[in-house]
Amino acid sequence: MLRWSFVSVFAALSCWVLPSWAQTDDSPALATHPKTVEVAGQSLQRNGAGIRTKAIFKVYSAALYLEQPVTSLDEIAPLQGPKRMAVRMLHTINASELGKLFAHGMQDNMDKQQFSKLVPGVLRMSEVFSRHKELKPGDQFTLDWIPGKGMVLSVNGQPEPAEFPEPEFYQAMLGIWLGPKPADARLKRALLGEQRIE
């Protein structure tokens, strides 16, 4: 079992992302993210997708799905329909460390007062990933925003019982990839569809 240190996992998740323009639908990794998905009974369009790599290793692919195209994080919050962030692992990662990295990513993109209000949700999220021990190639998780319910975190298609009802929490989660201090600027551009994969 591959177990990376916190610093190593952070580097894998925050560096060397292949921009979307370097990918096509012929890429097996991106082909797992269809152009449309259905969330809460509504069809969503893929806004953008990209792949993260560490050295020669592809770490994961990610895709953002929305009811209409956007080019910034600020445009997402006003959307009234469902939303989805989908991640599919391409390399083994310690799931507990991944949860910690998400917490740090949220904190990096908001002020301390805002983040302090979301700490209970951050702890619930970390507990979810801790239970899964590790994520292996082919494993996937989705962060769905369901109007009237909140964020639903699913791992390998199974919704977790933890509740995340605050819209601010979901926006903060998206900020990990799309905020003013994203984990990687090139992946941010890919997810925001600056170079769309058609």
The larger pLDDT score, comparing residue 85 to residue 32, is at 85
Inform me whether the pLDDT recorded for 13 exceeds 90. no
Q: What is the arithmetic mean of pLDDT over 156-162?
A: 94
Does residue 8 lie within any of the structural domains? no
Inform me whether the pLDDT recorded for 9 exceeds 60. no
Q: Which helix (H) or strand (E) holds 152?
A: strand 150-155
Q: What is the dihedral of CA 115, 123, 128, 187, to 10 degrees?
A: 20
Helix, strand, coil percentages in the chain from 3-state DSSP, rounded to 5: 35, 30, 35
- Which CATH number covers residue 108? 3.50.70.10
Does residue 110 lie within any of the structural domains? yes
Does residue 114 lie within any of the structural domains? yes
Distance CA 185, CA 191 (A): 10
pLDDT of residue 160: 94
Domain count within the chain = 1
pLDDT of residue 175: 95
Q: What is the arithmetic mean of pLDDT over 4-12?
A: 40
Does residue 132 lie within any of the structural domains? yes
**Helix orientation angle between 95-108 and 167-178, rounded to the nearest 10 degrees:** 90
Q: Measured between alpha carbons, how far is residue 126 from residues 13, 59, 110, 131, 188 in Å?
A: 16, 20, 18, 9, 23
pLDDT band for position 29 (50/70/90)?
Answer: low
Inform me whether the pLDDT recorded for 15 exceeds 50. no
Residue type at position 193? G
Q: Are 56 and 12 in contact (CB under 8 A)?
A: no
Does residue 143 lie within any of the structural domains? yes
The DSSP annotation for 76-136 comes to TTT--S-EEEEEEESS-EEHHHHHHHHHHHHHHTS-HHHHHHHHHHHHHHHHHHHHT-EE-
Is residue 57 classed as helix, strand or coil in its secondary structure? Answer: strand
pLDDT band for position 198 (50/70/90)?
Answer: very low
Does residue 14 lie within any of the structural domains? no
Residue type at position 186? R
Range of the domain at 162: 28-192
What percent of the chain has a predicted confidence (pLDDT) above 90? 58
pLDDT of residue 47: 96
pLDDT of residue 30: 79
Does residue 73 lie within any of the structural domains? yes
